[in-house]
């Protein structure tokens, strides 16, 4: 955790990355100046028992950005994977998210401290409110707690996830720090153009979760035709579409082959006509919960 990409040659030599060049991944600059690698590795639905190995594998491929959450139950195993990898932790950008059962100022402060313990760090790169829970939660109290962690230097950046314009507007009106990112569902069947524009207008970077719609967009004939013509895989085409849209992505994959495939996005680009064809796939294809009504609070 810390700066990216590694500038110290000794750091690069200590990595177990055999082929990939970590510095091929571009960074975006968040609204407080913090740099974030635009491509990372997501660990949702990776069993805790498998997470350390998956993180080590992803780091060996070249990923230097890991997206986890309290909800995923694998923060400690992410830290274990980083520790076991031999990669300097200061070169790895780590994000976690406050769970739905920790809304409110005091509960957020407590659960954030637990996250730092599990991640074996005194400062996280990015911490998000996972869901706004507008009907049952307290995202304003949660945000004020994260503002305090940020002010005290325990988070390099703070942001939100699954926030709609109305939720963001409330933060703008009743708090101080503008979120650095908004992590939302984005893929060709649910492009979220309006919300991405809203984020950009307010200096908020958009992160796209389920960037390949958990595989569902990979059989699309338009994606398939572009992939065949340019000699790339459907996943690479869709992930490259995100990259060219300026969206930060962290696809999840189980095998080294898929991790590598998803990492190799920076030696080609999509033509404007390809981008337009993929843009035209947009439909009401939300896969996950609607943030305006989602009210799941675990025990």
Ligand X SMILES: O=C(O)C(=O)[C@@H](O)[C@H](O)C(=O)CO
Ligand Y SMILES: NC(=O)C1=CN([C@@H]2O[C@H](COP(=O)(O)OP(=O)(O)OC[C@H]3O[C@@H](n4cnc5c(N)ncnc54)[C@H](OP(=O)(O)O)[C@@H]3O)[C@@H](O)[C@H]2O)C=CC1
Q: Are 78 and 93 in contact (CB under 8 A)?
A: no
CB under 6 A: which stretch of 30-38, 103-111, 220-228, 254-262 binds ligand Y?
Answer: 254-262
Q: How many CA atoms lie within 13 A of 261 on its CB side?
A: 18
> Rounded to whole angstroms, how far apart are CA atoms 237 and 293?
32
> Is residue 72 among the annotated active site residues?
yes
Residue 131 CB, nearest distance to ligand X (Å)? 6
Q: Which residues pair with 96 in a beta bridge?
A: 127
Q: Does 139 bind ligand Y (CB under 6 A)?
A: no
Q: Does 253 bind ligand Y (CB under 6 A)?
A: yes
Q: Which residue numbers belong to the known binding site for substrate?
A: 130
> Rounded to whole angstroms, how far apart are CA atoms 150 and 128?
12
> Rounded to whole angstroms, how far apart are CA atoms 192 and 4?
28
| Residue 164 φ then ψ, to 5° | -90, 165
**Among 4, 63, 72, 150, the one annotated catalytic:** 72
Q: Which does 214 bind (CB under 5 to 8 A by kind): ligand Y, ligand X, none?
A: ligand Y
Q: Does 215 bind ligand X (CB under 6 A)?
A: no
Among 210, 226, 232, 278, binds ligand Y (CB under 6 A): 210
Nearer to ligand X, 222 or 297 (CB): 297
Q: Does 209 bind ligand Y (CB under 6 A)?
A: yes
Q: Which two tokens stand for residue 68?
A: 């986890």
Residue count (the chain): 299
CB under 6 A: which stretch of 9-17, 27-35, 203-211, 267-275 binds ligand Y?
Answer: 203-211
3-state secondary structure of 7: coil
> Catalytic residue numbers?
72
Task: Give the interface with ligand X as residue ranges (CB under 6 A).
Answer: 44, 69, 71, 130, 288-289
């Amino acid at each position: 955790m810390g700066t990216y990409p590694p500038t110290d040659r000794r750091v690069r030599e200590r990595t177990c990355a055999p082929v990939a060049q970590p510095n091929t991944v571009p960074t975006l600059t968040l609204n407080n100046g913090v740099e974030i690698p635009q491509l990372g590795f997501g660990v949702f639905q990776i069993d805790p028992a498998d997470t350390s190995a998956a993180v080590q594998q992803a780091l060996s491929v070249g990923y230097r950005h890991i997206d986890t959450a309290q909800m995923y139950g694998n923060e400690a195993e992410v830290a274990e994977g980083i520790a076991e990898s031999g990669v300097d932790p200061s070169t790895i950008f780590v994000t976690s998210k406050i769970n739905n059962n920790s809304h409110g100022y005091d509960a957020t402060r407590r659960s954030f401290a637990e996250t730092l313990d599990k991640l074996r760090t005194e400062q996280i790169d990015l911490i998000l409110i996972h869901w706004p829970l507008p009907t049952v939660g307290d995202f304003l109290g949660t945000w004020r707690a994260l503002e305090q962690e940020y002010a005290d230097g325990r988070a390099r950046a703070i942001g939100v996830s699954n926030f709609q314009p109305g939720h963001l507007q409330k933060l703008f009106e009743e708090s101080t720090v503008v979120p650095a990112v908004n992590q939302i569902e984005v893929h060709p069947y649910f492009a979220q153009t309006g919300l991405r524009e809203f984020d950009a207008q307010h200096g908020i970077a958009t992160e796209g979760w389920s960037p390949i719609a958990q595989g569902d967009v990979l059989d699309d004939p338009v994606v398939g035709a572009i992939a065949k013509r340019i000699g790339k895989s459907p996943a690479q085409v869709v992930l490259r579409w995100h990259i060219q849209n300026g969206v930060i992505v962290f696809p999840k994959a189980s095998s080294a082959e898929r991790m590598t495939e998803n990492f190799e996005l920076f030696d080609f680009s999509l033509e404007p006509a390809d981008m337009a064809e993929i843009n035209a796939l947009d439909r009401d294809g939300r896969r996950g919960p609607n943030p305006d009504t989602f009210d799941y609070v675990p025990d």
